[in-house]
Structure 1
C-alpha cells in the first residue's frame, strides 16, 4: 500500500494563489517525494536535488518578501505547504522548515544593506541553510552556549562546536549563535557564516532512529574568521534573535507533525477498509473505528491550533505562547497517531513493507527538536504566570 493513495485534505485558503500553491505542492509530493522517500530513508541518502526542485518552484522562500525573492505568503499558507511536504516525506518538510528558520535572523534583524546583499541568494532556491544554536553541553539551556567569537580587527574569530545541526556539512550558510560577551543570554550574538569558511568542518552524521535521509551533524569551528559585516543585529542581541526564530520555527514543526500524523491516518484508514477479518473489513469493528475517529479528531484539533497561531503571527499579534502550545500538542498528537496506526496494521505495521513504522520513528524526533515538549510546557507556564 502506498501513501500516495491519500486523499487531499480539504482546506480553507485565503486566495486563489494559495490554492494554486497547494495544488503545486501536492503535485510535487506525488512526483518527487513519494516515489523515493522509503528507499532514500533506508539508504541514509540526503536528497539535495529535491530541495533544488522545491527552490525552483519557489517553495524555499514562501514567508519572505518579494523584494528579496521571497514568495510573500502569509504564515497560514506557508505552514499548510509544510504540512503537505511532511506528509509526503518528513525529511523534506522539516528541511524546508529549517531553511526558513535559518533565513529568519537576516530577514528580520539584518540591516537593509545586509538583506540586499545576502538575502536574495538565500531565498533564490539554490542555497540551503542551517541553524546553529545547540551545543554538546547546551541544548535546552541554550543561554549556556560556549562557542566563542572574538573580534580581531574587522573579523570575528570563532572557536567551538555546535551540535544537532540539520543539514550540517551540506548547508550553504549557517546562522550561528556565538558568545561575544559575558556569560548568560546577554553575551550572545548572531553571525551569518558561509559554508566553505576555512576552519569550518562537519563531523560524521549522527546515526538516528528516524529521519535518516536528513543529515544531522556537529559543526566544528576552529579559528573560523567571519567578517564583522556578517554580524546580524547588535552584539548581545543573539539570544533575542534565536528566541524570535524559534517561535516561528515551532509552528513549522507543528505543521510537519500534523503532516506525518495525517499520512499515518490515511494509511490506517485505507488498510482498515481493505483488510478482511471474520468475513468483513476491520473498519466495521467498533473498537477499531473508534480508534480511527480519535486519530482524526486529534489531527483536526492540532491543525486548527497551529493555524490559529499562524493567523496571530500574520496579524502582528504576540504568538509565542500559542506557538509553544501548537508545537506541544501537534507533536504529541503525531506520536499518538503514528503509534495507533502501527496498531491498526497489526503485524504488518511493524514491518518495513508499510510506512507506518517509519512514521512512528519519525514522529518521535518532533517532540524533541526546536525545544523539547517539556520546554514548551515551561514556556506556556511562564506566560500564564506572567514570568
Structure 2
C-alpha cells in the first residue's frame, strides 16, 4: 500500500509463511482478527510473520546476552514500523492508533522487550512530528522512521517518578541556547540511542514550568550512567541520562515554552495504548504456549489437556485476553478520534490489560510446571518482560488515580 508506505515488496511468499504452525496458530487465536478491515488484517499478517521469522528465533539470545537488536529493528522499519503513526511527508506510515495497536500486539509475540522499545521510539518520533517545527520534523523524523537513528523518552528522574510534574532538571535560557543540568532515570535505550526527547524546567514549580527539548547524542555535557541490570526487558539497554551544562539550541524545543508537561502527557496517552498492546502480544503467545504444553505433557496416564481444571484455566485466560484486547482497541479508537473520554480509556486500557495479561502469562508458566521456570522455555521470558508494564508509562496505581479523578469531576 503506497498510502501507508509499507514496503510490501519486501514480504516474499507471505502465503507460504502463513502455513507455518506457529504463525497459523497465532492468526487463528480467539478473534485476533475479528472486526478488522482487510487492510488491518494485512498489517497484522506482516507483523506476525516478522515476529515469527525475525524476532522469536532470537528472543532468548537477545535476553541472555543483553543484545540491542539494531539491525532487526531496521528491518522492521523497512516494513513501515519505525514511524507507524508519523505523517508520511517526513517518512512515516501515517497509520491510525488502532492500526498501531494491532501491529504492536503482533510484533510482541516474537519479542516483547524489543517491541516495547520500538513502541517508545514511535512515541518519540510522533512527538517530534506533532509538536516540532518543520525544520525539526525534517531534520529528525526521516532518520527515526527508517531507524537509522533511535530515540529515547526522558521524563522520569531519580526523585520524580509518578509525580512527574515535580521534575528538577533545569534548562536556563542563555542567548539562543538552553543550558540543561540534572539527570533522568530508567531511560530505555539510554546511551545507545541518538535522540533524546527531554522534559526540563524552564520556569517555576509545577507542570506549567516544564518545556520539552530534543537533545542529540554527542552534545557536550550529555553523558550516561551505568547500564542497569534488569529482571526483564534485556534486549534494550536502560541507563541514567545526565546533563551537566549541556547547551541545546532553543530551536530544538518542541512546542512553546511551558508546554512540555502537556506534550509529555499526550505522548504518554499513546504510550499507554502501545505498552498495553505489547502486553496483549505476550499474553497471546503465552496462551498458545500453555495450550501446546498441556496438549503433550502427560501425568497420571493422560495428557494434561484432559483435566477439566486446566481446560477451565485456559478458557479463562483466553477470555481475559479477548476482553483486554477489546478495551485496548476501544481506547485506541477514542485517542485517534480525540474523544473526551480518551484519557480515561487509555488509562483503563493500560491498567486492565497490563494487569490481566501479566496474570495470563504467569498462569501459563504455572501450567508448564517446573519446565516453565527454565530459561529453555519461552514462557518465563514473557513473564519477566511483561512485569514492568504495570510500572512504566505511569504506574497502575496512577492509572487508578486518573480514572477516579475523571469519575469524581464529572458534572
Retained in 2: the 8 A contact 1:13–1:19? no
The separation in 2 between residues aligned to 1:296 and 1:322, in whole angstroms, is 22
Which residue of 1 is the match for residue 26 of structure 2?
7
Please state how far the C-alpha of 1:101 moved relative to its aligned partner.
1.5
* Residue 384 of structure 2 corresponds to residue 361 of structure 1: yes
Please state how far the C-alpha of 1:6 moved relative to its aligned partner.
4.5
Please state how far the C-alpha of 1:13 moved relative to its aligned partner.
5.9
Please state how far the C-alpha of 1:139 moved relative to its aligned partner.
0.4
Which residue of 1 is the match for residue 367 of structure 2?
344
Please state how far the C-alpha of 1:117 moved relative to its aligned partner.
3.6
The one of 100, 103, 110 equivalent to 1:88 is 110
The separation in 2 between residues aligned to 1:49 and 1:364, in whole angstroms, is 26
Comparing 366-375 and 69-78, the one that deviates more: 69-78
1:200-211 map, 5 Å: 200-211=222-233
The separation in 1 between residues aligned to 2:85 and 2:312, in whole angstroms, is 38
The separation in 1 between residues aligned to 2:134 and 2:75, in whole angstroms, is 29
Which residue of 2 is the match for residue 299 of structure 1?
321
The one of 155, 164, 168 equivalent to 2:190 is 168
Which residue of 2 is the match for residue 145 of structure 1?
167
Please state how far the C-alpha of 1:273 moved relative to its aligned partner.
0.9
1:1-387 map, 5 Å: 6-8=25-27, 9=29, 10-12=32-34, 14-318=36-340, 319-386=342-409
Retained in 2: the 8 A contact 1:199–1:224? yes
Instruction: State the secondary structure of the residue aligned to 1:88.
Output: coil
Please state how far the C-alpha of 1:3 moved relative to its aligned partner.
6.9
Per-residue CA deviations over 1:71-120 (Å, capped at 9, x if unaligned) read: 11111111111011111101111011100111232222223343234322
Please state how far the C-alpha of 1:122 moved relative to its aligned partner.
2.4
The separation in 1 between residues aligned to 2:405 and 2:130, in whole angstroms, is 25
Count of residues in correspondence between the two structures: 386
Comparing 302-311 and 18-27, the one that deviates more: 18-27
TM-score, normalised via structure 1 length: 0.96
Please state how far the C-alpha of 1:14 moved relative to its aligned partner.
4.7
Per-residue CA deviations over 1:268-289 (Å, capped at 9, x if unaligned) read: 0000111112222111111111
Q: CA 1:13 to 1:123, structure 2 compared with 1: closer, same or farther past 3 Å?
A: farther
Name structure 1 gaps, 5 residues minimum.
Answer: none
Retained in 1: the 8 A contact 2:26–2:48? no
Instruction: State the secondary structure of the residue aligned to 2:402.
Output: helix
Per-residue CA deviations over 1:109-154 (Å, capped at 9, x if unaligned) read: 2233432343223223322110000000100010111111111111
Retained in 2: the 8 A contact 1:264–1:359? yes
Name structure 2 gaps, 5 residues minimum.
Answer: 1-20
Instruction: State the secondary structure of the residue aligned to 1:34.
Output: helix
The separation in 2 between residues aligned to 1:338 and 1:20, in whole angstroms, is 27
